[in-house]
Amino acid sequence: MWDVEIRGMTSAHAIIAASIFMATVIPVVLVDNFSVYGTHLVWLYSVACSVAVVNIAVFWLLGISPPTKKNTLNYKLSRLIRSCVYFVLSCLFFHAVVVLYGAPLIESALETFSLAVLLSTLTTLRCLCILGPNVQAWIRVFSRDGWVAMSVWDTSLQITSSCSIVGAWFGAFPIPLDWDRPWQVWPISCSLGATGGFLTGLLAAPLWIRWHRKQLTYKLK
């Protein structure tokens, strides 16, 4: 049973990673003058969109998301609306945090917000897909005691989310260097860092779970 779950997760992660790769390659054909540095925002949104679409497709349609108790249309609709609200709130939250970290308040607000959208896509959206708009479940997963996760998906969520955020955090390091490289422009290094961290998380999560499968006890399973 373990191997089946891990294998399923690995393939899901592979699909997401492939989607990021495609999101980088396909616009080269479709958009004129596309480059990751030059038209950074286009790249950023294409990655965000593809990750969002693939996540929703994989987790929602394939039924990994938590079983809904009520199956009425009304309930589903309210869940959808709540998810959207949560997503927007998380974008605003990330935006605020990035501004507190010293991003210019007005000057490059669009760039900052795009970074916030990317970060939300890499973290919050996956939470919404896997856990649903359920704050209690989020706190359970992300509090320290939550390392006693309930399923492999919870563990994967923890790892990928923290990796993306740490990646973005490290991505801010080269900004003050005086190398005058194109990727030092705000927010390119941070979004590249976040994406890199996310990819690392996708790769690391199955390995980590496999490595620690003796210690991991998914109680309620």
147-152 LR contacts (CB < 8 Å, sep 24+) = 148/217, 148/219, 149/216, 149/218, 150/218, 150/219, 150/220, 150/221, 151/5, 151/218, 151/221, 152/5, 152/6, 152/9, 152/209, 152/218
Closest CA to 60 of 160, 131, 10, 135: 131
Closer by beta carbon to other proteins, 22 or else 99? 99
Phi, psi of 201 (to 5 degrees): -60, -45
- Find the binder of other proteins among 172, 185, 204, 216 (CB under 8 A): 172
- The yes or no reply on residue 215 touching other proteins (CB under 8 A) is no
Minimum distance between the CB of residue 173 and other proteins, rounded to whole angstroms?
8
- The yes or no reply on residue 178 touching other proteins (CB under 8 A) is yes
The vertex-113 CA angle with 187 and 22, nearest 5°, equals 65
Minimum distance between the CB of residue 143 and other proteins, rounded to whole angstroms?
6
- Find the binder of other proteins among 77, 80, 84, 139 (CB under 8 A): 139
Q: How far apart are CA 61 and CA 183, in angstroms?
A: 37
- The yes or no reply on residue 150 touching other proteins (CB under 8 A) is no
Q: Where are the alpha helices (DSSP H) in 65-211?
A: 73-100, 109-122, 124-131, 135-142, 152-171, 188-211
User: Of the listed pieces 39-47, 57-65, 172-180, 194-202, which binds other proteins according to CB under 8 A?
Assistant: 172-180
Please compute, for residue 163, the number of CA atoms within 13 A of its CA located in the half-sphere on the CB side.
Answer: 19
Residue ranges in 82-121 that form contacts with other proteins under rule CB under 8 A? 97, 99-102, 105
Minimum distance between the CB of residue 9 and other proteins, rounded to whole angstroms?
25
Closer by beta carbon to other proteins, 10 or else 90? 90
| Residue found by looking up tokens 């801010």 in the block | 172
Closer by beta carbon to other proteins, 82 or else 140? 140
Minimum distance between the CB of residue 178 and other proteins, rounded to whole angstroms?
5
The counts of H helices and E strands in the chain are 8, 0
- Find the binder of other proteins among 45, 93, 169, 183 (CB under 8 A): 169
Closer by beta carbon to other proteins, 22 or else 172? 172
Phi, psi of 172 (to 5 degrees): -80, -15
User: Of the listed pieces 45-53, 66-74, 173-181, 185-193, which binds other proteins according to CB under 8 A?
Assistant: 173-181
**Residues at the interface with other proteins (CB under 8 A):** 97, 99-102, 105, 139-140, 143-145, 169, 172, 175-179
